[in-house]
Structure formats: C-alpha cells, structure tokens
Structure 1
Amino acid sequence: MGGTFINYRRHDERIAFVRTLYARLVSEFGENAVFLDSAAIRHGRRYPNQLRRHLDRSDVVIVVVHPGWATELRTDGADWVHNEIMWALAAGKTIIPLLMDGAKMPRAKELPRTIREFANFQAHRTVDDPGHDRLCEKISGEPRRRAAIGQTPARPWVGPLAVLLGVAAFTAPVLLLPTDARDIAVYASVSATAILVVVMILTALASLSRKQINSAERIAQDFDPTRYSLLVVAPAGIMFTGFSVAIVLSSPIEPQLRPLLVVMAGGTAMYLVFLVLELYKIEKFREDHWPVRLKEPVKPGPVRRELERLLRKHAAGGDPERVRWHITHLENAADVLSRDGTRSRWSWLTADHAEQLLLGTAWSAAAVGLMTSAVLPTMRLWVPAIVLAAIGLIVGLTVETAYRRQLWMRRTVADEVHVRIQRIQDLSP
C-alpha cells in the first residue's frame, strides 16, 4: 500500500548492513516504496516531520534489532527508534523485527512500557535469510493480507445463554417477590412492557423507512468528520437536550424528585457528548492515516463511509498505491456483506445482535415474571399469558422488519461499492 519503513539504530558497524538491506528492498519494490532516513530526507528538511509523514504512509515497518538493542532504548522523547516503534504500534502497522548478528527478540519486561507490545511480533532472522528473499516475500504479501476481510463469526452459544437468562429473569420475581409487593410488581411489569413496546415500534418504523434513511445516510457519509459533527451530530445533540429538558419540566412526578430526572438526563447527555467525541476522534484518525482497515465484523455504515472517503481521496489525486489497496479492501468488504445477506434470521440475530437478544430476552421474561407474581395469588394466569403473547407478537414483527432491512442494506451497500469502484477503474489510465 504505502511501502516499507526501515527503523534502525545508527552505528558505524551496522550502517553497511542497513544500506545493503535498503538496496535489496529498492531493487525489489522500487525507490519510492522504501524509506530509509539517510537516503530519503534531503538536507534542510525537518526530519521529525519527514519521519512521521513517511511512517504514516508505510504499510510495513522493519525494525532492525542488533545485540543489546533493548538496552539502548530511551523514553526521553529524543530516541527516534523508540518514537517510530511507538507511532507504528499506535497506527496498527505491520511490524517485522529483523534480528541481525545473532540478536535475540527482547522480552516484554525488557522494553519500555510504551512499546512492550513489540515483543509479541514474530521476528525474521537474517542468518536464515542472508539474501532477504523471504523477507521480500513477506513484505510483498502484506498489503494483500491486510486488505482481506474476515467472515462474520457465528455465535452458537447466544441461543442457550438467552434461554438461561430468560428462565432466570422469569423465575426470580415469581419465587422471590413477597406477596405484599403485588402493586409494585404490576406497575413494574406494565412499565417494562410499555418501554419494550415503544422501543420495538420505533425500531420497526426505522426499518420500514429504510429507503428514506438510506438516502439521508448517503448524504451524511459524504461529509468529512468535522462537517459531519457540525451538521449532523451537533443538531441531534441539541434536540436530545431540549427533549430531555421538556420531559423534566413537564413531568407529573413530585417536585422533590425532579432533580433526580435532571441528573439522569444530564448524565445521559454527557455520555453522548463523550461518545460523539470518541467517534470524531476515530473518524479523524481514519482520515489522517488513510487508508485504515475496517473493524470486523464489517457493517454497511462503516463500509459506506470508507467508500466515500476513497472517492474523496481519489478525486483529490491520492497516492495510487493507497487507492489500489483501499479498492481491494472495500471489494472484499462488499463480498462479506453480500454473503452476510444470505444468512437466516436466527444466524443474523445471534451473530450481529447478541447483546440486544440477551437483553431483550431478559427484559421480556422479567416483565412477564413480574406480572405472574402479581396475579399468582388470584390464579388469573391469563393476564401474563396475554402480556407474553403481545410481547411475542410485537418482538416478532420488529425482528422480521429489522431482518429484511439489514438484508436490503447489505445488498444495497455491496452494490454501491462494486458500481462506484468500477467507475474509478474505468476512469483510471
């Protein structure tokens, strides 16, 4: 994708080895695909900026490790060997430790805390590969490996766990709730059922409005992180805050309990603020370090954002190697989306929404259990039966609409990727 970066400790006894390594890599991949500071940075340039820029562009970082290498590392900010490894780890680069002159891979406890993860990378020994042929094979295959996308894993354990949670949530109030708490049980059951029904109805409406939401998402995904935050996230946050204030002011509960609502609404708003900041930070990182691998398992939304980012970078004349890698990565992601679009309802639910399935099962079972414990003394068991039937009907319809929506979204986004990438390739020389 962006070439190879050579990290090494300057020393008269080792510079010949590093230059030989550099020459071998250049002969294999070309001068523009290999970075060695002494060969690439011209006089008068600020080398810290050049180091960071070339490291960000690189796909593979080779760390030349000599005997006693770990003892020479410093964390004072002036050790560029340490700084470059720290940057590479933070950016998720592929790191290949290259052991020369019989050097051994350092253990984690021998390294500074900031780069201890370096000890977990598989090393390459020069004594076994004096001509660096196998090293070149590893480097040439790295962009293809990093462009691959793993299949969405199945979670067969979710079903049995959901059954256990449901049984526990139902039996707990039936067996443990005292008989004098019947009114509280009824109120709690009705409240839990109402909340669940509202959430399900909103989810179903969002699924039924899939085309309108899809059109809005396509417009929003074309924004860079700053514009997206200002034009989409900020108004949504303002609306949520205003809605929370309106609920607090119009609440029928006792005035002395309203501060509790204020605290709950304020805490939720602060959580959303930090969540938005974290999402902005992630998107900014992906923009600055483009291209970055998609998080697995892949979802339609992130794939579409990366597609729009690819189109922007290509239109702006981005590095052709990076564009090609990003195209391969997105095509692989689109293939995974297409295959995920053929899963059964249960496979989709357990693989993509395990947490929601477990929470919904426990919530529904608890609501029915509370109602059962309330009516058990009078043996009016038809009441919880009706509640269970209503919950089952609404949840079933919601799951069906959500399932159909995700099928449609995955196929739509996969088609978008293939069609728009084909346009890029048609326009390329």
Structure 2
Amino acid sequence: MFLDRPSIVPGQRYSDVLRERVADCDVLLVVVHRGWVDARDDETGVRRLEVAGDWVRREIDQALHSGKTVVQVLLDDAEPPRPAQLPERIRELAIRNAQALRQEAYGSDLAELIAVLETDVSRTWEPVPPPPAPYRPGRWLGVVTAVLSCAGLVTVPALPQDDGWARADGLPLTLYAALFSCLLLCAPLIAVAVGRHLLRRPVDAWERDLHAVKHRTYVRQTWPMAAGLVLIAVFGALSMWGDEGTQASLILLLVLGLAVARSGALHIRLERRDADLWTRWPQGLPDPVTRPVLRRAVARLELRLAGFRPPLSREQREKAKWELAGLREALGRLSGEARRSRVTWLRQDHPWMFGGCVLWLSLTAATALEAGIAFGAAGRGTPRVYAALVVVALIGTALALATMELGHRHQRRMRTDLVTEAGARVADLAERVTALSAPARTKLSSPAPRPEEYAEPD
C-alpha cells in the first residue's frame, strides 16, 4: 500500500517517486468522493481533471496506459464518472467497474474490495526457510572407527598379562572383561525389546499426546517424572558411597547443577522457537524431520484453521496450502526413510552409536582373543576352551545384531504409523481448507482476527 505523503521520504523528488510507484504497483485505487469530477483549482477555478499536470490525472493516465488494474472506489453516495465528464486520456476509467465503500456497510464493502484485490495483487508473503540440517559426521567417523577397531584387535592381545590366575587355578581377567561386555550388551537389547513389545501402546499414546502440545505444556507434564528419576539416582548413588562419598556427592551436585542450567537455557530457546513458529508462518520443516516436529506442525495448522473464519482470504489460503504441501513432502521423506537398510539407518540416524557399537564389539573380540592367548601361554589351551571363547565373541555379536534388528524394526514401525496417522490428519486439513475457502469471499460481517495476532493456545 502506497500513500503519497506518508510514503515519500523528505528530500525525495515526489514526481520521480510517484511515477516509480505507479510503475511498480499491481492495482491503482482511484478513490472517488461526491464532487470528485467537478473538483476545481482554488486559484484558477479550472477543473482539476482538465489540468494536464494534475498528479491525480497523471497517475491514472500512467496506470491506464501501462496496463495496470485500475479500480474506482466510490465513497458513500458518490456516483461513478461518465465518459463525457473525463478527459480523453483517462476516459477509459469510466468503463472500469467500480466498488462501493459506504460508511454504513464499511465491513462488508471492505471485504468485497479485498476480494477484488486478492486476484490482482502479487503475493506479499514469503515462507520462512527451514532451520539448518543437524550436523552429521562424514566418512571420517567410519575411518576413525575402523582404525580404532583394528588398533584394539592388535594392541589388546599384545598387552602383557599377569599369569597369577593360572597358579591360583582361576580365569584370566580378560575373559571376565569379555563376559562382562556381553552382559552389558544385553541391556540395550532388553530396553529395546521392552519398549517395542511390552510398553508399545502406552508409550505411543503418550508420545502422540505430548508431541502435539507446546514445549511449555510438555515441560509441565513431564518434569515430575524427570525430577523423580533424578532423585532416585542421587539417593542410590549417595547410599552406595556411604560416609566416604562426600567429595563424590559434591561432584554429582555440580553435574546436576550444570544439567539444570543447560535444561533452562534449552527451555528458553524452545519457548522462543514455539513463539516464532506461531507468529511467522509458514515455515519450512527441517530435513530430516522428527516425529515431535511433524506432529507439532500438524497440530499448529489445526489450531490456525480453527481460528479462521470462512471464507479464507487469499493469503490464508496460500499459506495453508503451502504448509500442507510441506507436510506432504515431509511424509514422503519419512516413508522413504522407513524403507532404508539397517546399515543406512544406523549410519544416517545414529552414526555415533553405530561407531561406538563397532568399537565395543572389536574390544570384546580383542579381550576374548587375549584370553585365548593367556590360556595357551599357561598350557591350558584346549579346543574346548578356544571354542568357548569363540562362542563368547559370537554371543556378543549376536546380541548387538539382535539389538540393531529390533531397533530397525521399531523405527520402521514408528515411521510407518506416523505416516498413516499424520497422512489422515493432513487429508482432513486439506478438506477443511477447501471448505473454508468456499464460497469465494464476498461479504464479511466483521474482519476476522489473524491467529498469529494472539498467543498460541496450549
């Protein structure tokens, strides 16, 4: 919107600015009041429209001859000018359809004018780009993991080992280390199995509810559980240390203090992110998109549409359709991610965990190999012993592979379920946008508030 006096900076040549603005505009509104045709110059008494240098006439002339859309806006009881009343250069204005803007029907007339302008004015909004993709380690992580694994397989068996265990008729420490490593590998397997089978339904329902709310609401609902787990951990640690754990307790409290400070900073950042996503829309979804982010985006669009009044304006329709297209694209990416191979899934989603697991398995195999060397040096290396050590290494590998398989199936099921769930909601939102957009905007009893102008509800 351009108005001459408020929009021209002091010191600018208004003649140049007016010509530039008319050339840049999509629609020129000619506001016609009663007596507009017969308005005369105060000094000469000549009708203003007859003065070739009159700026109103020059702006209309430039707009008409440059192919612009020119709309007459008739104030109250003003009549549209007849061709005979206009100079030849702007006579075409008389055959352009007019739009009334009456004081007693200001709301509905303004809505009709907006509907006229929506089809001719260029888009004035731009989507906010998505946040940058998270850092993913490249090939260097695989190279470092391979080097460290090979170094462990070579270095650990070469380390000197005390043979006191043989004189005491015991077992080498490296064998205990290998067995303990296999025992630890059971923990993630049990956690994934319990989460995938026993707690699948309640956890899924809990996640669906929490993912759709604001971060503030999420914190309010989950902090008691987190605080309880922290207190249990602190109590257990202090009980284990007893009277000698004063120094360790101070270290633990320091770690907890740093964790609370970091959580507070993260909470503030996410609160601002929520407010930004509500007021500046539409915003692109990150790639890759997580389940909480996707569910939150769907819930946010549902809240917006619930606050819109039919019929939607052009901007509202375009923004809603842009967000729907982004949601469909994200669902397509999720569907493709669910079909990834196991190694690709680990490498893309959990590169550090993948590298750590490979290194862990190599160290487990190295300790088992060191135990076999120790048995051979002590003269106890029998085929049965070596077979048992091989079995230990195979058990560790099988536990890791079983954890990977359960985790891969779990993430594939979660992504597939999310695509089905969110796909149905997105289809429902598309139907709602279509319903809110029809019939075309003609009259409106009062201007509808824009949802981004008030706080996002919980």
Q: TM-score normalized by structure 2?
A: 0.56
Greater shift, 193-202 or 401-410, is seen at 193-202
Aligned: 1:270 with 2:258:
yes
2:150 aligns with 167
Closer, same or farther: CA 215–179 of 1 in aligned 2, 3 Å: same
2:350 aligns with 353
- The residue correspondences of 1:63-102 to structure 2 (distance < 5 A) are none
Residue in structure 1 matching 2:421, options 410, 416, 420: 416
- Residues 178 and 368, structure 2, Cα contact 8 Å, conserved in 1: yes
1:293, 1:169 → 2: CA distance? 45
1:54 aligns with none
1:289, 1:192 → 2: CA distance? 46
1:14, 1:210 → 2: CA distance? 71
1:51 aligns with none
- Residues 154 and 351, structure 1, Cα contact 8 Å, conserved in 2: no
- The residue correspondences of 1:393-404 to structure 2 (distance < 5 A) are 393-404=398-409
1:104-133 deviation per Cα after TM superposition (whole angstroms, max 9, x unaligned)? xxxxxxxxxxxxxxxxxxxxxxxxxxxxxx
Q: CA RMSD in A?
A: 4.2
2:413, 2:190 → 1: CA distance? 20
Amino acid in structure 2 at the alignment position of 1:214? D
Residue in structure 2 matching 1:310, options 293, 301, 305: 301
1:233-260 deviation per Cα after TM superposition (whole angstroms, max 9, x unaligned)? x123212212212321342x67435643
Residue in structure 1 matching 2:195, options 206, 212, 224: 206
Q: Whose Rg is larger?
A: 2
2:349, 2:394 → 1: CA distance? 25
1:200, 1:164 → 2: CA distance? 27
Looking at secondary structure, tell me which structure has more helix per residue.
1
Closer, same or farther: CA 192–289 of 1 in aligned 2, 3 Å: same
- The residue correspondences of 1:215-364 to structure 2 (distance < 5 A) are 215-232=205-222, 234-251=223-240, 255-257=243-245, 259-260=247-248, 263-264=251-252, 267=255, 270-271=258-259, 274-275=262-263, 277-278=265-266, 281-290=269-278, 291=281, 292-317=283-308, 320=316, 321-364=318-361
Amino acid in structure 1 at the alignment position of 2:329? N
Greater shift, 336-345 or 271-280, is seen at 271-280
1:359, 1:409 → 2: CA distance? 24
Kindly state the Cα deviation for residue 219 of structure 1 after the two structures are TM-superposed.
Answer: 0.9
1:374, 1:241 → 2: CA distance? 39
Kindly state the Cα deviation for residue 189 of structure 1 after the two structures are TM-superposed.
Answer: 4.4
Amino acid in structure 2 at the alignment position of 1:223? V
1:184, 1:409 → 2: CA distance? 42
Amino acid in structure 2 at the alignment position of 1:175? A
Amino acid in structure 2 at the alignment position of 1:267? V
2:336, 2:130 → 1: CA distance? 17
- Residues 215 and 270, structure 2, Cα contact 8 Å, conserved in 1: no
1:178, 1:15 → 2: CA distance? 92
2:187, 2:344 → 1: CA distance? 25
Closer, same or farther: CA 240–277 of 1 in aligned 2, 3 Å: farther
1:376 aligns with 373
2:256, 2:177 → 1: CA distance? 22
1:426, 1:246 → 2: CA distance? 54
Closer, same or farther: CA 14–419 of 1 in aligned 2, 3 Å: farther
1:157-187 deviation per Cα after TM superposition (whole angstroms, max 9, x unaligned)? 7666544443233333223465479866556
- The residue correspondences of 1:8-23 to structure 2 (distance < 5 A) are 12-13=11-12
1:279-309 deviation per Cα after TM superposition (whole angstroms, max 9, x unaligned)? 5523531333334333322223321222222
1:173, 1:9 → 2: CA distance? 79
Amino acid in structure 2 at the alignment position of 1:169? G
1:332, 1:147 → 2: CA distance? 13
- Residues 189 and 403, structure 2, Cα contact 8 Å, conserved in 1: yes
- Residues 211 and 291, structure 2, Cα contact 8 Å, conserved in 1: no
Kindly state the Cα deviation for residue 218 of structure 1 after the two structures are TM-superposed.
Answer: 0.7
Kindly state the Cα deviation for residue 344 of structure 1 after the two structures are TM-superposed.
Answer: 1.7
1:18, 1:396 → 2: CA distance? 71
Kindly state the Cα deviation for residue 401 of structure 1 after the two structures are TM-superposed.
Answer: 1.4
Greater shift, 211-220 or 369-378, is seen at 369-378
Amino acid in structure 2 at the alignment position of 1:12? G
1:371, 1:282 → 2: CA distance? 47
Equivalent position SS for 2:26: helix
1:316, 1:181 → 2: CA distance? 78
Closer, same or farther: CA 224–305 of 1 in aligned 2, 3 Å: same
Identity of aligned residues (%): 19
Amino acid in structure 2 at the alignment position of 1:225? H
Residue in structure 2 matching 1:390, options 388, 391, 395: 395
- The residue correspondences of 1:96-115 to structure 2 (distance < 5 A) are none
Q: TM-score normalized by structure 1?
A: 0.60
2:163, 2:248 → 1: CA distance? 27
- Residues 229 and 280, structure 1, Cα contact 8 Å, conserved in 2: no
Kindly state the Cα deviation for residue 142 of structure 1 after the two structures are TM-superposed.
Answer: 6.0
Q: Which runs of 5+ in 1 are unaligned?
A: 1-7, 31-135
Q: How many correspondences in the alignment?
A: 311
Equivalent position SS for 1:289: helix
1:107 aligns with none
1:294, 1:18 → 2: CA distance? 40
Equivalent position SS for 1:298: coil
Closer, same or farther: CA 295–184 of 1 in aligned 2, 3 Å: farther
2:345, 2:146 → 1: CA distance? 17
